[in-house]
């Protein structure tokens, strides 16, 4: 009987016949030792350490300071901050000028609903086969890419007396509709809210369009075989599928309506009854030097947005949609 040559001679043969217990243990890189296990568990937290630290330092610490300033009479310069309790919050809700800016925000809240309706309409239309689809998408999204200050300047010239809008109305025989668009308190907030809708419809449109395009096309084919028309597809397929995105757009719309600043500040500076909540807060902090009161207004705005978010989550909870 013959055996195949192993190719091992000398010390190699001796090592091969050496008992396993006598062999020195070899460390395997990335092994399962106790130190390696702890290292793997700590690795994600080490990566999170810097961003979480920056978040705490640059976001949550200023918020805590804002709560503290809101119960003081700090003017923004003095080293002394006297505790005044809830006095600033009482001023926020009892001063008629402060209450008026809440009412101005209602124009933008209504405008946000108009913005969502337009965005949902265009997103639904362009989710089907339409000629020059990409061109329409670009046209709708382009206003959002323009800087807010630039938009304010553009519409300031467009809406001024004798400007572009008045010229169009005069040339089309609609002289009766000519107004002081940014100078008349009766129409100024409508004009500014319309400019805001024009700017942000593109962003909401992209959110809705992305959600609609993520719907499985087989569902449309099955609905078509069952005789569903476009309205049935929208009501029973599209709208239930994008409900979380609609809820997100609702929250963004409400919070954005309460924090409007750029467009009214550039176009009117808050004059003619167009002062918004943020414009008044900035004026309180940096012109009247009442940082304590301005901080109380900022806290009220934050709490209001959180309450709206909570109500939206309670009324329209995120539920799994089963369209099969």
CATH number at residue 170: 1.10.3720.10
User: Does the pLDDT value for residue 23 go beyond 60?
Assistant: no
Worst-scoring range by mean pLDDT, 31-35, 181-185, 198-202?
A: 31-35
What confidence tier does 151 reach under pLDDT thresholds 50, 70, 90? very high
Q: Is residue 242 part of a domain?
A: yes
Tell me the DSSP string of 245-280.
Answer: HHHHHHHHHHHHHHT--HHHHHHTTTTTTT--HHHH
Q: Is residue 193 part of a domain?
A: yes
User: Does the pLDDT value for residue 127 go beyond 70?
Assistant: yes
Q: Is residue 212 part of a domain?
A: yes
Confidence at residue 13, expressed as pLDDT on a 0 to 100 scale: 45
Domain containing 115: what range?
Answer: 86-313
C-alpha dist (Å) from residue 242 to 47, 82, 239: 33, 50, 5
Q: Is residue 61 part of a domain?
A: no
Q: Is residue 324 part of a domain?
A: no
Report the chain's mean pLDDT, rounded to a whole number: 85
Query: Count of domains in the chain?
Result: 1
User: Does the pLDDT value for residue 324 go beyond 80?
Assistant: no
Confidence at residue 309, expressed as pLDDT on a 0 to 100 scale: 81
Q: Is residue 51 part of a domain?
A: no
Q: Is residue 53 part of a domain?
A: no
For residue 125, count CB atoms less than 10 angstroms from its CB and return exposed for 0-12, middle for 13-18, buried for 19 or more: middle
Confidence at residue 256, expressed as pLDDT on a 0 to 100 scale: 87
pTM: 0.76
């Amino acid at each position: 009987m013959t055996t195949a040559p192993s190719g091992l001679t000398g010390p190699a043969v001796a090592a091969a016949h050496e008992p396993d217990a006598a062999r020195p243990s070899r460390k395997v890189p990335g092994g399962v030792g106790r130190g390696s296990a702890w290292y793997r568990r700590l690795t994600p937290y080490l990566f999170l350490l810097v961003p979480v630290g920056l978040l705490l330092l640059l976001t949550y610490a200023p918020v805590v300071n804002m709560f503290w300033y809101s119960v003081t009479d700090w003017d923004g310069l003095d080293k002394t901050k006297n505790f005044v309790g809830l006095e600033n919050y009482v001023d926020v809700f009892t001063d008629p000028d402060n209450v008026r800016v809440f009412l101005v925000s209602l124009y933008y809240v209504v405008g946000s609903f108009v913005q969502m309706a337009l965005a949902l309409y265009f997103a639904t239309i362009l989710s089907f086969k339409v000629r020059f689809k990409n061109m329409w998408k670009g046209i709708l999204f382009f206003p959002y890419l323009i800087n807010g200050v630039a938009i304010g300047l553009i519409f300031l010239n467009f809406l001024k007396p004798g400007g572009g809008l008045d010229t169009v109305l005069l040339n089309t025989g609609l002289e009766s509709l000519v107004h002081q668009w940014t100078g008349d308190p009766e129409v100024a907030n409508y004009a500014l809210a319309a400019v805001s809708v024009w700017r942000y419809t593109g962003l909401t449109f992209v959110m809705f369009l992305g959600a609609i395009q993520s719907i499985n096309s087989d569902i449309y084919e099955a609905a078509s075989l069952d005789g569903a028309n476009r309205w049935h597809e929208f009501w029973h397929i599209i709208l239930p599928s994008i409900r979380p995105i609609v809820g997100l757009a609702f929250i963004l719309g409400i919070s954005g309506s309460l924090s409007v600043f750029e467009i009214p500040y550039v176009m009117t500076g808050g004059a003619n009854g167009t002062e918004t909540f943020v414009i008044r807060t900035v004026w309180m902090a940096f012109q009247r030097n009442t940082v304590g009161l301005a901080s109380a207004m900022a806290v009220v705005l934050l709490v209001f947005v959180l309450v709206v978010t909570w109500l939206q989550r309670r009324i329209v909870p995120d539920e799994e949609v089963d369209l099969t």
